Structure 1
């Protein structure tokens, strides 16, 4: 039942409770309780609007791979928290491999993207960056 609720919410997080209950085949009161439980357990972390960055004037998106200096590795979580608050950051990923983080960023144009890269590169924790432009993006939905 929880999987069916999650699947329905992934399709449309604004689905009214009565409709959700009908889709899953449960009573509306049961549905409210199950969705509340999913939120409390952190299964459903939130419902958000998927806004097109271009509509906001952010015509360039990129993934910026960031390597931290070896003496900054103890502050990996702190670095992620700092950059996540930057207005140009869409997502922060802590990853394995050559780099420590991948930052999904959005900018108004190439000059703004260059400023972002320069800002990140000048941070004392950062030893290097590598920028990859995003030409297109399709969101997936993980299935349980």
Structure 2
């Protein structure tokens, strides 16, 4: 029996039926052990609990409880595979800046969700500033990128402008 998603569950906040509601920002108190756990998981999210506990210097039962709390409180939003787009058949990456028409502003959040579901879209950012979105796309070739922009963005009546910037190299930062 599947349990109901928690209010801070990523499915509820982003991909679920309820969309992108704003959650009240609640500061979660993190101590040095929590920060070490987050750094270790950011480096390798596949670490087994025993290995993670040993790396951080705590008991496995403590480690399990702390990781569970970090997930329950929304600090850890999920665990992800870092797929190489080139090796997966999409070697051409771009950031496409999108500006919407003023009349389409009421659909920004819905369009954000629609963009995130398109094939080849790696990330979508809703912005403040000159552009409304940055869409990180991986395509098989320049024709595929061109087709993506024309069919999914330029053809949309709410889109006023697109600007495509090719990515020559990407290095995943370990920010934590």
Q: TM-score, normalised by structure 2?
A: 0.79
Distance 2:137 2:106 in 1: 24
Match of 2:17 in 1: none
Match of 2:54 in 1: 22
Match of 1:132 in 2: 165
Match of 2:5 in 1: none
Q: Answer 1 or 2: higher relative contact order, Cα 8 Å, separation at least 6.
A: 1
- Unaligned stretches of 5+ residues in structure 1: none
Shift of residue 3 of structure 1? 0.5
| Aligned match for 1:33, one of 59, 62, 65 | 65
Distance 1:14 1:3 in 2: 17
Shift of residue 23 of structure 1? 1.6
Match of 1:88 in 2: 120
Match of 1:101 in 2: 133
Match of 2:175 in 1: 142
3-state SS of 1:51 partner: coil
3-state SS of 1:54 partner: coil
- Displaced runs of 4 or more, over 2 A: none
| Aligned match for 2:85, one of 47, 53, 73 | 53
Please give the per-residue CA displacement for 1:52-98, whole angstroms capped at 9, x wherever unaligned: 10111112100000001101111111110011100121100011221
When you count helix as a share of all residues, which structure comes out higher?
1
Please give the per-residue CA displacement for 1:12-49, whole angstroms capped at 9, x wherever unaligned: 11111111111222111110010011111111111111
Aligned length: 143
3-state SS of 2:125 partner: strand
3-state SS of 2:118 partner: coil
